Amino acid sequence: MSTAKSFDEINEKIRNGKAVVLTAEEVSRMSLELKPSEIAKKVDVVTTGTFAPMCSSGVFINFGHSDPPIRMQNVLLNNVPAYGGIAAVDAYLGATQTAMDRTDYGGAHVIEELLSGKDIKLKATSCGTDCYPRKEIETIINKETVNEIILFNPRNAYQNYPVAVNSSKKTLYTYMGMLFPNYRNATYSTSGELSPLLNDPELRTIGIGTAIFLSGAKGFVAWNGTQFNTKKPRNSLGIPVSNAATLSVIGNLKEMSPDFLKAAYYRKYGVSIFIGIGIPIPVIDEDIAKSVSVRNEQIETIICDYGTSGHPEIGRTNYKALQDGFIELNGKRIRTASMSSMFKARQIAETLKNWIKKDKFQINEPVQQLPFNTSLNSLKIRSE
Amino acid sequence: MKKRLILNFTEGNVEEPITYFLIKNYDLLVNILKAEIYPEEGGNLLMEMEGDEKTIKKSINYLKSRNVEVVNVDRKIHFREEDCIYCGSCTAVCCTGSLSIDKKTWKIVFNKEKCLVCGLCAEACPLSLFEVSFGN
């Protein structure tokens, strides 16, 4: 008997309040006792979650027109530059952009403050034109006064990420935290068996148009993320062992929650932003049942040395060891620490589960699959 | 019992062999964990004392009589846990195990008894939730 289910059948169950929804952690535990075919029959949707620093994030804002109007060319929000090279009162504020006068405050902080309903100082200048005669403006905005604030993140939700260690003789200040010399600590930033793209490694159910949990609201997968790479090596279960697929995601910032979006500052690295992403995986067949059942010990990732130029791969480990607190590298036991919040990742998977159970959230088939065959170009330095 | 204290010396009492008297007169097990002391200037010393409660109380009175300011170590560390997202960045740099993640709840556990007031957590926290001061 086929255990295959369509998206429509699953949505019908969600509407009737009969869908069986589990988090990826719960289904991983279930897999110790049940076979994939049994899980495929029993479970309809599996929810995932991650809450991690994702630098490639930002918001499009439309400020509304003043009288007389201005075509904002140079835009500052709380003294953080936003990109104004689009239409008159549209701008893009990137999360990692730092303020003109300090390095520990940036776009991410402005985005979090906007979301929290705080007032933000807007300053903009322009050369003045017949359509837009005003040359400068200085005012106060907040999320109620502006038209749209669209969170549009070009690269989020990395499918796996390498562990960082440091072989050098000095402490390194990185986006993977403070790395002590002589391999004295190791940091990682993936929620293991809860991580969205590790539960559907072939991206069969996730694609353009997939509805997702995005920082507390319903958002969507807009496109593949930048640096999307399908050529990364995979383990025997078909799971990439390093940073492979990525997602570009979009949603309405005004509907999001500051509980699931946090500005971050990493000393001597810069500003970043914690984004919360949860993706529902419909258990459409036995193969998907198998992939959502994956456990931390089965998900491997490479270890990279940030103390050597190019961050070469120097080993491999799995998420059970990472979460237990120690990894082995060349006979040495290294203490591990997470850079992403498992606490919040769990909260996200639970929240999404409850949304689906209460029919507040339906699953949908991708409008288009993500690419199957991509690799990365590096930037060559040349004069012609 | 064990107690971790920060002793603040001034220009006036920095030359006195106070640790010696703590050991000799109060029979305390004294472990100096960190010290920043400059002759003719004063400074701070992080000390772990082990002994019975009464003796520790007496020894603190002795320190106060010598004009040494005594501060419980946890009064020098402030952690705004209510804003914590429990990422784990602080646990990456905490060598004493004072900061750790509970593997069941995935929340940060802060055991101030193990803290050496090194201040690395304040450097590592991406949300700047720690304030640590060894000196004044």
pLDDT tens for chain A, 384 residues long, are: 567 999 999 999 999 999 999 999 999 999 999 999 999 999 999 999 999 999 999 999 999 999 999 999 999 999 999 999 999 999 999 999 999 999 999 999 999 999 999 999 999 999 999 999 999 999 999 999 999 999 999 999 999 999 999 999 999 999 999 999 999 999 999 999 999 999 999 999 999 999 999 999 999 999 999 999 999 999 999 999 999 999 999 999 999 999 999 999 999 999 999 999 999 999 999 999 999 999 999 999 999 999 999 999 999 999 999 999 999 999 999 999 999 999 999 999 999 999 999 999 999 999 999 999 999 999 999 998
CATH number, domain with residue B119: 3.30.70.20
For residue A176, give the amino acid letter: M
- Both B54 and B86 in one domain: the answer is no
- Residue (of A26, A23, A24, A16) closest to A362 by Cα position: A16
User: Which residue in the set A262, A267, A337 is minimally distant from B91, CB to CB?
Assistant: A337
DSSP of A164-219 = EE--SSS-EEETTEEE-TTT--EEE---GGG-GGGSSTT-SS-EET-EEEETTEEE
Domain final residue, candidates B72, B93, B113:
B72
- What is the 3-state composition of chain A as percent helix, strand, coil, each rounded to the nearest 5? 20, 35, 45
- Both B129 and B90 in one domain: the answer is yes
Cα torsion A363, A368, A369, A371: sign: negative
Give the model's pLDDT for residue A1: 54
Question: Is there a contact between A196 and A277 (Cβ–Cβ < 8 Å)?
Answer: yes
CB pairs under 8 A between A and B: 69
- Both B61 and B110 in one domain: the answer is no
Q: Reply yes or no on whether A131 is catalytic.
A: yes
- Both B85 and B112 in one domain: the answer is yes
- Both B80 and B96 in one domain: the answer is yes
Question: Is there a contact between A213 and A194 (Cβ–Cβ < 8 Å)?
Answer: no
Cα torsion A269, A273, A276, A277: sign: negative
Whole-angstrom distance, CA of residue B50 vs CA of residue A21? 54
Residue A375 distance to chain B (closest CA, Å): 31
Question: Is there a contact between B100 and B94 (Cβ–Cβ < 8 Å)?
Answer: yes
User: Which residue in the set A267, A325, A338 is minimally distant from B87, CB to CB?
Assistant: A338
Domain final residue, candidates B56, B72, B88:
B72
Give the model's pLDDT for residue B39: 82
**B136 confidence band (pLDDT: 50, 70, 90):** low
Q: Do A324 and B103 touch (CB under 8 A)?
A: yes
User: Which residue in the set A264, A338, A342 is minimally distant from B126, CB to CB?
Assistant: A264
Q: Token pair of B18, please?
A: 């106070």
Whole-angstrom distance, CA of residue A199 vs CA of residue A195? 7
- Both B67 and B95 in one domain: the answer is no
Q: Token pair of B6, please?
A: 């920060």
DSSP of A12-73 = HHHHTT---EEEHHHHHHHTTTS-HHHHHHH-SEEE--EEEE-SB-EEEEE----SS----S
Using one digit for the tens of pLDDT, what is the confidence trace for A184-233? 999 999 999 999 999 999 999 999 999 999 999 999 999 999 999 999 99
- The Cα-based distances of B128 to A64, A267, B120 in angstroms read 34, 10, 11
- Both B14 and B62 in one domain: the answer is yes
Whole-angstrom distance, CA of residue A34 vs CA of residue B77? 48
For chain B, the domain total comes to 2
Whole-angstrom distance, CA of residue A35 vs CA of residue A28? 11
Whole-angstrom distance, CA of residue A26 vs CA of residue A214? 21
Give the model's pLDDT for residue B72: 87
Please report residues of B whose CB lies closer than 8 A to that of A340.
87-88
Please report residues of A whose CB lies closer than 8 A to that of B92.
177-178, 185, 187, 337, 339
Whole-angstrom distance, CA of residue A178 vs CA of residue B124? 6
- Both B120 and B86 in one domain: the answer is yes
Q: What is the CA radius of gyration of chain A?
A: 22
| Residue in chain A lying closest to B88 (CA) | A338
Question: Is there a contact between A78 and A271 (Cβ–Cβ < 8 Å)?
Answer: no
- Both B90 and B127 in one domain: the answer is yes
- Kindly report the pTM of this predicted structure: 0.94
The angle, 0 to 180 degrees and rounded to 10, between the axes of the packed helices B53-65 and B18-26 is: 150
Q: Which positions ≥6 away from A314 have C-beta within 8 Å?
A: A165, A167, A303, A304, A305, A329
Using one digit for the tens of pLDDT, what is the confidence trace for A31-47? 999 999 999 999 999 99
Write down the H helix ranges in A95-176: 107-115
- Both B88 and B60 in one domain: the answer is no
Please report residues of B whose CB lies closer than 8 A to that of A178.
89, 92-93, 120, 123-124
Using one digit for the tens of pLDDT, what is the confidence trace for B51-77? 999 999 999 999 999 999 999 888 888
- Both B88 and B68 in one domain: the answer is no
Q: Do A339 and B87 touch (CB under 8 A)?
A: yes
Give the model's pLDDT for residue B2: 86
Q: Do B88 and A346 touch (CB under 8 A)?
A: no
Q: What are phi and psi of A7, to 5 degrees?
A: -60, -40
- Both B82 and B30 in one domain: the answer is no
- By DSSP bridging, strand A326-329 and strand A332-338 are antiparallel
CATH number, domain with residue B12: 3.30.70.260
Q: Which positions ≥6 away from A222 have C-beta within 8 Å?
A: A152, A208, A248, A249, A250
Please report residues of A whose CB lies closer than 8 A to that of B88.
337-342
A 249-268 → B contacts, CB under 8 A: 262-267
Question: Is there a contact between B95 and B103 (Cβ–Cβ < 8 Å)?
Answer: no
Give the model's pLDDT for residue A288: 97
Domain final residue, candidates B48, B72, B96:
B72
- Residue (of B41, B120, B28) closest to B77 by Cα position: B120
Cα torsion A159, A165, A168, A172: sign: positive
Range of the domain at B119: 76-134
> One of A55, A127, A131, A304 is an active-site residue; which one?
A131
Give the model's pLDDT for residue B16: 87
Q: Do A343 and B128 touch (CB under 8 A)?
A: no
